[in-house]
Amino acid sequence: MRKKHRGSTHTADLTGMKNAFGFAAILERGSDYIRSGTHYRQTRWRVLDKFGNTRLVFASDLFKGVSAGKYVKSGSDQGCIRAGRPKKEYNTISSHWQRVFDPNNRDHRASKHMLFCDEWNPRKGGSKIVGTRWIEKNLPCPGPDYELHVIKTKKCPHGYFGPGGIEWRHKMDRHDQDLIDHIYEMPEQNLIDLREEIDRLLKSEDLMKVA
């Protein structure tokens, strides 16, 4: 169907299809979209997504793979809105996804090697909404002045955005964390030199007097 571009009024009957085009089910044909003041018409289908929500999707988007049934732009239908705005957790997942996978993002060069949780990644069949719910349940935000920070370790020197790889950190603690991140990015010889310098300082009489 995709090869024949049957995405408008000539669409095949999709009613009752299961696990099709990334959706749990194609329920029925919906009302056609008609552009005001023109003869332009597009077929729409009422679908059931993987979260149990129903919505109208253009047939052309189904065939082109534009709608995959795994996420929505705002997350509003899946409980990702708080006080009329996308939740901090959802926005953070979205912003990090853009940094890692969008070459046009200004932070892509610094973040492109970061690992990203497959279950939260739409490109891997995951969902940002799944990530939002996991963070809310397992890593609740301590307060309004906290932000999610990616932890850099020897195992994941560029960070891992997913369970076990993120934590809430107060905005005032960013300087200390930036220093730790910088240390993890250092070449091995630089780390050796740094360790020797730290050992020297710890043994110095001036430092002992200050302590």
* 48 DSSP assignment: E
Residues 6+ away with beta carbon under 8 Å from 198: none
Give 80's pLDDT tier (boundaries 50, 70, 90).
low
**Quick one: pLDDT at residue 180?**
63
Average pLDDT along the chain: 77
Contact 161/100 with Cβ under 8 angstroms?
yes
How big is the CA angle at 75 (ends 69 and 76), to the nearest 5 degrees?
115
Look up residue 86 and give its two tokens: 């996308």
| Residue of 185 and 12 predicted with greater confidence | 12
Look up residue 120 and give its two tokens: 């939260």
Give 72's pLDDT tier (boundaries 50, 70, 90).
very low
pLDDT in tens, 81-132: 665 567 889 889 989 999 999 998 888 988 999 999 999 988 887 888 889 8
pLDDT in tens, 168-182: 988 766 656 666 666
Is pLDDT of 56 > 70?
A: yes
**Quick one: pLDDT at residue 5?**
47
Ranges 23-32, 53-62, 133-142, most confident: 133-142
Contact 57/47 with Cβ under 8 angstroms?
yes
Mean pLDDT calculated for residue range 194-204 = 77
Element (H, E) at 127: none
Contact 122/128 with Cβ under 8 angstroms?
yes
Element (H, E) at 44: strand 44-48
Strand partners of residue 48: 25, 54
Rounded percentage of the chain residues whose pLDDT exceeds 70: 72
**Quick one: pLDDT at residue 73?**
45
**Quick one: pLDDT at residue 210?**
47
In terms of Cα–Cα distance, which of 42, 41, 64, 67 is closest to 53? 67
Mean pLDDT calculated for residue range 56-85 = 59
**Quick one: pLDDT at residue 67?**
57
Mean pLDDT calculated for residue range 3-12 = 57
Give 74's pLDDT tier (boundaries 50, 70, 90).
very low
Residues 6+ away with beta carbon under 8 Å from 13: 29
Residues 6+ away with beta carbon under 8 Å from 9: 32, 41, 42, 43
**Quick one: pLDDT at residue 160?**
95
**Quick one: pLDDT at residue 76?**
41
Q: Would strands 115-116 and 160-161 be described as parallel, antiparallel, or unpaired?
A: parallel
Mean pLDDT calculated for residue range 66-81 = 49
Contact 87/80 with Cβ under 8 angstroms?
yes
